[in-house]
Amino acid sequence: MRLESEQMWGYFEWLFQQFALLWGVGILAGLCLLGFIVCYVAATFLYGPVEGFYAVTRVIYELFARDLPSTTWRRTYAIARLAFQEAMRRKVLAVVAVFIVGLLFAGWFLDPNADYPARLYIESVLTGTSWMVLLLGLFLSCFSLPADIKNKTVQTIVTKPVRSTEIVLGRILGFSAVGTMLLAIMGVLSFFFVVRGVRHEHDVRAISADGKTGQTTLDANHTHTFEIGENGEGVTNEVKGHKHAVVDTGEKGEDGKPIYALEPPVGMLQAKVPVLASLRFTDREGNTGEGLNVGYESNYQKYIEGASLMSAIWTFDDVTESRFGKDGINLEYTLKAFRTFKGDIVTGVQGTVTLRNPNGKVESNRLRFIIKEFQVDQMSIPRELEGFVNSEPKKLDLYKDLVDENGKMEVIVRCEDRSQYLGMSQADLYIRKADRSFGWNMFKAYVGIWLQMVIIICFGVMYSTFLSGPVAMIATLTCLVFGFFGGIASEVASGKIPGGGPIESIIRMPTQTGAMTELDLGSDVLENVIKTIDYGIMSPLSVIGRVFPNFGSLNTSSFVAYGVDIFSSLLFRHITQAACYFVVTALIGYFFLKTRELAA
């Protein structure tokens, strides 16, 4: 899992500094203007330009002067209850039965020999739940209102003192209540399925003659080795993404040696809290610079050269004892090694970590480590450590000496091996706080799935106010596809994805021109015309992709699968986006339903 920069934005940073509020207001204003123009043109054909203008403005006036002020929770709840009962009559509980059957057979297809079985179980249940709930919301929301209109049963409602706002809101809330009930059941079942699937126990199989090392029994297709410390406790090696603590039971065996027991696995079902920092680089001379690109197409990770003054510097904020504990801090990092010679594949690439006060006067000794690629490594930094103050050796206190008056501290990483390189990104090194509950983290992932479902229901109800059931389903499904893949259009239009747009890509295939190679047709004019046409095609798609919800970003199952606590700011951003889509789709649905009533 890679943490992207946009996932790490704070809520207000996203809202103001990243212009989310400005984009939202601009899109809303554009939709309002476009909707007014389209409705006015349609009304002009029906009633003429003057009467058409009055017809459109009359509907807008009735929304703010009559329908919204007169909307009551009692009538909205009545409509929602009817929608709920209608869905239950359609036997939607059968979805839970299908889900249970899926869980029963899932164990046959999930490989118990996988390197990270917990990750496999979590991703399977969350992905399956997400798609099942999305399809449920799609079918519930798209066919109900068109069927009522076709059967004229909706006239029983509209002849009562019921507002169009209450009909639209009631449908959305009723169908959302059904989906919420089913999602809650599937969430509980999924949680116990995951916990039961990864649960296992080991016993101590053998202890060495000196009583310092041992090996566990085989369970869940793996064993562990462990070492016993002077205090009579130890920890196993990491296998399949987890470890076990080894404790002395206080009992003695027949040979007089202590009897040890293993505690439940640590690291399989976790929700670690990473405290991230800003990242900058220095060049070969030690001056502020940029990291190197060693030839990879992706610039996600930058590299620093070994045996030079190049370094990567993370600056942490608010490093305090109350936040991280009195005993010190725990660093975790996932760095990548790039070797310029492959002769020695046994010796790992060496690096160092140095803690420094931002004032530049106090820094710790270099703490050495060897890169463990493709896995998370950790380093415990004690409260007291050796270092230098104004180049003079001295014993340092982590919080008093290495943290400045603003609570900032720098962590510097260097590569020690000549002709080797270390790669890192902003999220590849962090301070790990105390873990949070895995169950709570999984609940937050299900909140993201719930938001996806609510948005789909909102679009389905909106389209069903003026389209037939099958057409409304196709329109809602199109929104779903754009929500998952619409971002590709904006990346192509902006040039982030090489290879160009559709026309340029078609030309590259028969000419066998690689995506990373500049298009060469022998005519600059022809090449510019093709790129201009491609830009004209992809730019509207890019705008449409921004209008539709990004369903991929709402899915945070990878956080749970990789044991990372879902950021609260990210969750609040998703809730804000879902609330905006709820308001916009409800208003559009109201106008269409109101216009449909007027036409009748």
CA angle in degrees (0–180, nearest 5) for 185-189-191: 120
Tokens read off for 199: 């649960």
pLDDT value of position 232: 81
* Arithmetic mean of pLDDT over the chain: 89
At 600, the pLDDT band (50, 70, 90 cuts) reads: very low
Cα Rg, the chain, nearest whole Å: 30
Query: Sign of the CA dihedral 90, 93, 96, 101?
Result: negative
For residue 346, pLDDT over 80 is answered with no
What number of CA atoms fall less than 13 Å from residue 119's CA on the CB side?
14
pLDDT value of position 599: 40
**How far is the C-alpha of 262 from the C-alpha of 335, rounded, in Å?**
31
The residue that leads in pLDDT, 161 or 123, is 123
Q: Where in the chain is the domain with CATH 2.60.120?
A: 277-433
Question: How many residues appear in the chain?
Answer: 600
The pLDDT tens digits for 536-565 are 887 777 777 778 888 888 999 999 999 999
pLDDT value of position 544: 74
Residues 6+ apart with CB under 8 A from 8: 276, 426, 427, 567
Q: How large is the average pLDDT for residues 507-528?
A: 81
Of all residues in the chain, the percent with pLDDT exceeding 70 is 95
For residue 317, pLDDT over 80 is answered with yes
Cα–Cα distance list, 288 to 207, 285, 431 (Å): 53, 9, 24
pLDDT value of position 157: 63
User: DSSP readout, 234-277?
Assistant: EEEPPBTTBB-EEEEEEEE-TTSPEEEEEPPPBSSS--BEEE--
For residue 30, pLDDT over 80 is answered with yes
Please state the pTM of the whole predicted model: 0.91
* Nearest one of 419, 412, 431 to 292, comparing CA atoms: 419
pLDDT value of position 174: 95
Q: Tokens 């998952």 belong to which residue?
A: 484
**How far is the C-alpha of 160 from the C-alpha of 78, rounded, in Å?**
12
pLDDT value of position 520: 80
The CATH architecture annotation of domain 277-433 reads Sandwich (2.60)
Cα–Cα distance list, 399 to 313, 405, 412 (Å): 18, 10, 17
pLDDT value of position 154: 66
DSSP state of 427: G
For residue 207, pLDDT over 90 is answered with no
79, 174 Cβ separation under 8 angstroms: yes
